[in-house]
Copies of this chain bind each other. A is one copy, B any other.
Amino acid sequence: MENIQKRIRDLYPLSEASFNKIAGRLTKVELPRGHVLFQANRIETSIYFLEKGIARAYCYDAEKEITFWFGFEGDVIFSYNSYVNNEPGYENVALLEDAVLYSIDNTVLQALFRSDLEIANWGRKLAERELIRTEKLFISRQFRTASERYHELLKAHPQLVQRVQLGHIASYLGITQVTLSRIRSENN
């Protein structure tokens, strides 16, 4: 819990009172590997803070499944379209390891946004941080080859390859598993 609390406060400075309005509504959840947190085409009503474990967001197009996000300890897990527009999301999110999470109800959080200036700014920062992260990813995608992106990913998350199967990593990189295998075998 302390870890998550620190993460929450690091995002935007909150007074004790405002912080407690959020912290008081967090519920601890322990869920097993494989559990599906969010499903596509549903309006999701919770937001999760991931304390332990790895999560993966993916969606389908025809038969093809594509992973487009990995969540690690400290990350916030939400279905953007449910969270922002109260509309069904397009992503599935599943746990790749047994996980410890803290959840908060989206309705509760939205009410806090409307009533508390500090929390509204905290929510602003949350969206802004995700925005920067997503844009960086998008730009890296245009500039780098698959091989470069793989090595970037290895550097940023060295434990990823130990903990996540390569098929998921390949689809996250926008390549097939076969291509990833080739990349891995070439240099070292």
Contacts and interface: CB of A to CB of B under 8 A. Distances in A.
A98 interface: no
Copies in the complex: 2
Interface residues of A, number: 36
A59, A66, A83, A124 — most chain B CB neighbours (10 Å): A124
A80 B114 contact: no
Question: At the interface, is chain A mostly helix, strand, loop or mixed?
Answer: helix
Name the residue in A59, A84, A171 with the highest tally of chain B Cβ atoms < 10 Å from its Cβ. Answer: A84
Interface stretch (A24-32, A99-107, A136-144, A160-168): A136-144
A128 interface: yes
A131 B141 contact: no
Contact of A127 (B83, B115, B131, B138): B131
Contact of A124 (B64, B113, B174): B113
Question: Which of A61, A134, A141: most chain B Cβ within 10 A?
Answer: A134
Given A84-B128, A113-B124, A128-B84, A59 B135 contact: no
Among A115, A116, A120, A123, max chain B CB count under 10 A is at: A120
Interface string A108-121: 00000111110011
